[in-house]
Chains A and B, each alone.
Chain A
Amino acid sequence: MGSITLKQVTKSFDEVNVIKPLDLEIRDGEFIVFVGPSGCGKSTLLRMIAGLEDTTSGNIEIDGQDATSTPPAKRGLAMVFQSYALYPHMSVRNNIAFPLKRAKVPPAEIEEKIASAARILNLGDYLDRKPGQLSGGQRQRVAIGRAIVRQPSAFLFDEPLSNLDASLRVNMRLEISELHKSLKTTMIYVTHDQVEAMTMADRIAVFNAGVIEQVGTPLELYQYPVNRFVAGFIGSPKMNFIELDTPQEDGATCLGVRPEHIEITESGGLWQGKVGVVEHLGSETFLHVQVEGADTLTVKANGDCALRYGDDVYLGAQPNKILRFDSQGQTIANG
């Protein structure tokens, strides 16, 4: 059980509206990622769901029960913080046992739960160490362990991987996804990293300035972004935008095309330009092409691309891969 429904939820600090009226249905067992640039309100919303921030207006329902003013401990949710928020003076074992002891769980049962959490997260070797003696990844696991033992109806993750180095982040990403597959518990995950969002999520909610721009599966957002913000935020490298001097007949003032959808041709094509910086990544190559009458376009090419700085190239793209945006930034449907 772990469905969460947000109804017309808002949050304002003094006069500033951080969250504008917002509806969202989080289904039982799904992995939903809140993604957006910093300051877009995604963390605030997560903290409101956790009960750490008051809700200015609207309702938060957990499993059909109105939980808008329920204290955090009574909501049955567990949170993993960005700083891990482990208790530094307690051993790993006591950190994990802390919520159970507060809930007056019998000692034998506590031992059992710690053992099972330690098994799931490979914590066995350092149960008696203090958090200060652990590496970032291990601390992260302990924080997750402390969340697991409570058997919450949903897990809340607040940018849990942002303090880890790049390679560890990839590993922990996999581990958290793995954990979700085995526990089948609802997880709400906040991040500003669209790669994390794309790789982990069942559904993604893209936030911008206190509103949800779009909710959908990763591929939906990638293929059919509803507006220019979502199109630019999802995908790496970023989508290229080409401003048009004169609107097209359907009202489009801007074209969007992803680097991986641009083809390099010998002649003809939609755009002509000069190759700027070439970034070889081995498996692929990113070309920054200075196009006449437009900005620099990023183009993704094969790993063995032989083009060099200063070469003249022609660029093209399949018409159905080009997105068109109107003057409001909304996507104009194809066809």
Chain B
Amino acid sequence: MATTHSRTLAQFMLFPSVVLLLAWMIVPLCMTLYFSFLDYNLLSPGTEEFIGFLNYEFFLTDPAFFESFFNTLVLVGGVLLITICGGIGLAILLDQAIWGRNYVRIMVLAPFFVMPTVSALVWKNMLMNPVNGLFAHFATFIGIEPIDFFSQAPLLSIIIIVSWQWLPFAALILLTAIQSLDREQLEAADLDGAGPFSKFFYIVLPHLSRAVTAVILIETIFLLSIFAEILVTTSGGPGYESTNITYLIYTQSLLQFDVGGGSAGGIIAVIIANIVAIFLMRLIGKNLEG
């Protein structure tokens, strides 16, 4: 695309897809924005009227909002912490020359291919169920009271389930990063007298910083909108203990039929996501440069 002519042609040919993508994004956003200023409840159709920022006021002053906002942050932070730390550990293990390494790598990736609803159901019914779950059986076996995960530690349970899903993704990205580490650097460190810990902290971890940044950014995008796992397991309860912003919007608009309030929540979620994105890019975006 060196000549002016071919560049113009390229721009011209890109035009339809750009317009389509833009419309795809702008139209729902504008509709949500429009609904968020209306008193629009599905139970009383035909009575929509403009009510200004009242929906926003209700959503933001709802005590459930703060709890779910806090839950969202804990959920994202907790899963990131587990998947990054666990992912680095797994990646280092998978990098070792072990028998059947290729099969192990495929097996490790398996949870990522399981649908969120299915994996949540598997965890709910097979593992964490207080009567029939494997954990309950194990607890009875060693003679302690089985834990009812979803009522005693609902948010933690969801963090565990989501971490299980995302751990393979983190491990795989970090594994490829580890494999791209120049072996001569490790050998040089060997000669320089670095032990395993020095090598990890001074050579391997800095080398991984880029991959870790990418994993954090990608995971954050998806973790802010965790929904299926909550719907299938705790339905946001008990109370609002495991409700995040996404789930709160769902209850608002589809359980209480308050489309206006739900839309306002949606717009707030968009703003929060952007704030988190800006914050993250400021904090770690530097790693992606250069």
Residues of A contacting B198 with CB < 8 Å? 102
User: C-beta contact mask, A76-120 vs B, less than 8 Å → 1, else 0?
Assistant: 011101110111111000000011001100000000000000000
Please pick, from A71, A72, A85, A103, the residue contacting B184 in the complex, using a CB distance under 8 A. Answer: A85
B290 A85 Cβ-Cβ under 8 A? no
Query: Contact: A87 with B191, CB < 8 Å?
Result: no
Q: Which chain A residues lie closer than 8 Å to B140 at the CB level?
A: none
In the assembled complex, the Cα of A90 lies from the Cα of B188 at a distance in Å of 14
Count A-B contacts at CB 8 Å.
62
Within 8 A of A (CB), among B187-201: 187-194, 198
Residue B105 lies at the interface, judged by CB distance under 8 Å to chain A: no
Contact with B along A142-184 (1 / 0, CB 8 A): 0000100010000000000000000000000000000000000
B193: chain A residues within 8 A (beta carbon): 73, 99, 102-103
A87 touches B185 (CB 8 A): yes
Cα–Cα distance between A87 and B182 once the two chains are bound (Å): 10
Q: Is the CB of A50 within 8 A of B191?
A: yes
A78 near B185 with CB under 8 A, answer no
Determine if A307 is an interface residue (Cβ-Cβ < 8 Å).
no
The answer on a CB contact under 8 Å between B194 and A102 is yes
Query: Quick check: B190 and A52 within 8 Å, CB to CB?
Result: yes
In Å, the complex CA distance between A52 and B206 comes to 23
Which chain A residues border B192 with CB–CB below 8 Å? 73, 98-99, 102, 146, 150
Q: Is the CB of A81 within 8 A of B188?
A: yes
> A72 touching B191 by the CB < 8 A rule?
yes
Q: Which positions 175-190 of chain B face chain A at CB distance < 8 Å?
A: 182, 184-185, 187-190
Q: Tell whether A132 is near chain B: CB-to-CB under 8 Å.
A: yes
Contacts of A82 in B (CB 8 A): 184
Nearest A residue (CB) for B194: A102
CA distance A79 to B191 in the complex (A): 7
Q: Which of B190, B202, B290 contacts A87 (CB 8 A)?
A: B202
**Residues of chain A with a CB closer than 8 A to B187's CB:** 50, 52, 72, 79, 81, 85
- Contact partner of B190 among A73, A88, A89, CB < 8 A? A73
Is B207 on the interface with A (CB-CB < 8 A)?
yes
Q: A83-B182, A102-B198 are in contact. Are A89 and B191 (CB under 8 A)?
A: no
CB distance from A52 to the nearest CB of B (A): 5
| Smallest CB gap from A89: residue in B | B206
Inter-chain CA distance A72–B188, complex, in Å, is: 10
Across-interface contacts of A83 in B (CB, < 8 A) = 182, 184
User: Across the interface, which residues of B come within 8 angstroms of A72, CB to CB?
Assistant: 187, 190-191
Report whether B203 and A87 are in contact in the complex, using a CB–CB cutoff of 8 Å.
yes
Q: Whose C-beta in chain B lies nearest to the C-beta of A94?
A: B202
Q: What separation, in Å, do the CA atoms of A102 and B188 have in the docked complex?
A: 12
Whole-angstrom distance between the Cβ of B76 and the nearest chain A Cβ: 27
Q: How far is the CA of A81 from the CA of B191 in the complex (A)?
A: 11
Q: Nearest-CB distance from A75 to chain B (Å)?
A: 8
Chain A interface size band reads 20 to 34
Chain A's nearest CB lies how many Å from the CB of B288?
Answer: 14
Residue from A51, A82, A85, A89 having most chain B Cβ neighbours under 10 A: A85
Complex CA distance for A150 and B194, rounded to whole angstroms: 13
A98: B residues at CB distance < 8 A: 189, 192, 194, 202
| A87 to B191 Cα, complex, angstroms | 13
**Separation of A72 and B202 alpha carbons in the complex (Å):** 18
Q: Report the minimal beta-carbon distance from B199 to chain A, rounded to whole angstroms.
A: 10
The CA-CA distance from A103 to B203 in the complex, in Å, is 17
Q: Which residues of chain A are within 8 angstroms of B206 by Cβ–Cβ distance?
A: 87, 89-90
Within 8 A of B (CB), among A30-51: 50-51
| A143 and chain B: residue at smallest CB distance | B188
- For the complex, give the distance between the alpha carbons of A146 and B194 in Å: 14
The residue of chain A having its C-beta at the shortest distance from the C-beta of B190 within the complex is A72
The reply to whether A89 and B207 form a contact with Cβ atoms under 8 Å apart is: yes
B188 touches A85 (CB 8 A): yes
Within the assembled complex, what's the spacing in Å between the Cα atoms of A52 and B188?
Answer: 9
A287 vs B185: C-alpha distance when bound (angstroms) = 46
Contacts of A90 in B (CB 8 A): 202, 206
Contacts of A150 in B (CB 8 A): 192
Cα–Cα distance between A82 and B184 once the two chains are bound (Å)? 9
Closest to B195 in A: A102
Give the docked Cα–Cα distance between A89 and B194 (Å): 16
Q: Which residues of B contact A71 (CB under 8 A)?
A: 190
Shortest Cβ distance from A54 into chain B, in angstroms? 13
Give the shortest distance, in Å, between A61 (CB) and chain B (any CB): 19
A73 contact from B184, B191, B202, Cβ within 8 A: B191
Which residues of A from 45 to 77 have beta carbons under 8 Å from B?
A: 50-52, 71-73, 77
Cα(A188)–Cα(B259), bound, Å: 78
* Cα separation A98 to B207 with both chains bound (whole Å): 16
Binding site for A on B (CB under 8 A): 182, 184-185, 187-194, 198, 202-203, 206-207, 209, 290
Q: Which 6 A-B pairs have the closest CB atoms?
A: A99-B192, A73-B193, A85-B184, A85-B188, A89-B206, A102-B193
Task: Using A73-B192, A73-B194, A87-B202 as known contacts, list a sample of 6 further A-B pairs with CB atoms less than 8 Å apart, ordered by residue number in A.
Answer: A50-B187, A52-B190, A85-B182, A85-B185, A87-B206, A102-B193
**Can you name 24 A-B pairs with beta carbons within 8 Å?**
A51-B191, A52-B187, A52-B190, A72-B187, A73-B191, A73-B193, A78-B191, A79-B187, A79-B191, A81-B184, A81-B188, A82-B184, A83-B184, A85-B182, A85-B184, A87-B185, A87-B188, A90-B206, A98-B189, A98-B192, A99-B191, A102-B193, A146-B192, A150-B192
